[in-house]
Structure 1
């Protein structure tokens, strides 16, 4: 090797997220400041915060987290569904919202390539929400994310398959995840380091 290899810090693992019980049931706080279950909402893995990892997850504990709490959530869901009996049908407005989202992608063939939008998102996150963070840069990054979200509204999908279309499934998730990370960063000002720093 004669030339340097570019190295960029990346996100390996997300910690924190939706507060949950060990059964995967999502929690919120009521007006008295007490934890209460959000009916029908479950989370496990990186998106969940069961608070078992402390300030930083130790190597190898990610898979253990998924196995233990994924199983616990599955068992709880199995019991809950058996107790509920018949499940309710989706409302007409639910179906319309889903069809609108699907048709938005199916009917747009002339928009911007989402790959270019993803690159803009990656650059925004790298420059404004990377390892070392400052409030001014993060505020600038949030403004950039608003512009990127607008660009995404006019994006096209080259993959038009109707089954397992990962492009369609993930395209909005990029921005949603980015916004979650950014707002989480603002909640941690001044910047807090991991336990071994």
Structure 2
């Protein structure tokens, strides 16, 4: 993880909103890579007009940087899905330390399985799966079916900066692109979800 020193797990900073400036510990789990501050700041500046009151899904929650930032900036509800039980427990403790239990729900489980049985509709979805595991196409296919997205939904897709971006289905359009170092991201609008 970038910024970690001598095995220390590091911290992630809430950039703006209710918990602005709070630095939260990142669990010491190999391969965990929080979205860099610069990318998050750019992304959430783009999302600010649609974020207050939004229902969000952080499908591969990991460090929780995206979901907790959304909750800090006024999302009404954030569902964070995390496969690793240690990380899911860590995220629950983070939400509790912020007093965010009313806005943040952490679910343990696989992201693709969650989408297969999606029982809620979302205004905003964060897709930041582990790189090099080719999970984005399956997520996109499941999200492109009716049932998970509200009309006018936004999706943030993050992938390795040296890899081509994912193929998007008809009706999905790229609104913005961002990146920093090894990270590339797309903000996508879904027409008529």
Q: TM-score, normalised by structure 2?
A: 0.23
More strand by share: 2
- Which protein has the larger Cα radius of gyration, Structure 1 or Structure 2? 1
